[in-house]
């Protein structure tokens, strides 16, 4: 933690993001998931996303990683590009979960692209073994 005068600064997350293309822009969003909401289906972002949970608990799953719980006060990130974001669900059944997402958007590409069922099935082998749909 850094302190200067009355100001205190604590690092929440320190990562090396992928290369950010020239002409990219940033978008900051507040996302609210209703109680017990399953959130968006599998999707990808055109660039990296950095987030911070303001309220509640979310289930977060990126392609190749085990799903994990992220609680209020914790930060997360995803690289974007070809990496699929499979789950962002509200784990609380009686209250909304809210998080801030700072999205770096590649020029000329939608910030979010939802996957079609055929692509989800074709990429199943890239998911963590604990959540694969087609175990061979």
In tens digits, the chain (136 residues) has pLDDT values of 666 788 888 899 999 988 888 999 999 999 999 999 999 999 999 999 999 999 999 999 999 999 999 999 999 999 999 999 999 999 999 999 999 999 999 999 999 999 999 999 999 999 999 999 876 5
Is residue 66 situated within a structural domain? yes
Instruction: Let me know if residue 105 belongs to a domain.
Output: yes
Q: Which of 1, 47, 3 is nearest to 27 (CA)?
A: 47
Q: What is the CATH number of the domain that holds 74?
A: 2.60.120.10
Q: 71 lies in a domain?
A: yes
Domain count, the chain: 1
The answer to whether position 56 is within a domain reads yes
User: Which residues, 6+ apart, have CB-to-CB distance to 55 below 8 Å?
Assistant: 72, 95, 96, 97, 98
Note whether residue 136 is domain-resident.
Answer: no
Asked whether residue 97 is domain-assigned, the answer is yes
- HSE, side-chain direction, 13 A CA sphere, residue 38: 3
For residue 100, the enclosing domain spans: 40-110
Sign of the dihedral defined by the CA atoms of residues 78, 88, 91, 9, in that order: positive
- CB proximity list for 85: less than 8 A, separation 6 or greater: 40, 42, 43, 44, 45, 49, 61, 62, 63, 78
Domain-located, residue 132:
no
């Amino acid at each position: 933690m850094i302190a200067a005068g009355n100001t205190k600064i604590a690092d929440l997350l320190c990562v090396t993001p992928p290369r950010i293309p020239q002409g990219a822009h940033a978008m900051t969003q507040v996302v609210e998931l209703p109680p017990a909401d399953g959130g968006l289906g599998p999707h990808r972002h055109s660039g990296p996303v950095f987030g911070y949970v303001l309220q509640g608990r979310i289930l977060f799953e990126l392609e190749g990683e085990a799903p994990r719980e992220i609680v209020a006060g914790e930060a997360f990130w995803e690289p974007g590009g070809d990496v699929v974001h499979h789950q962002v669900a509200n784990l609380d059944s009686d209250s909304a979960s809210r998080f801030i997402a700072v999205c770096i958007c590649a020029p000329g590409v939608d910030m979010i692209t939802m996957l079609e069922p055929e692509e989800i099935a074709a990429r199943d082998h890239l998911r963590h073994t604990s959540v694969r749909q087609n175990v061979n």
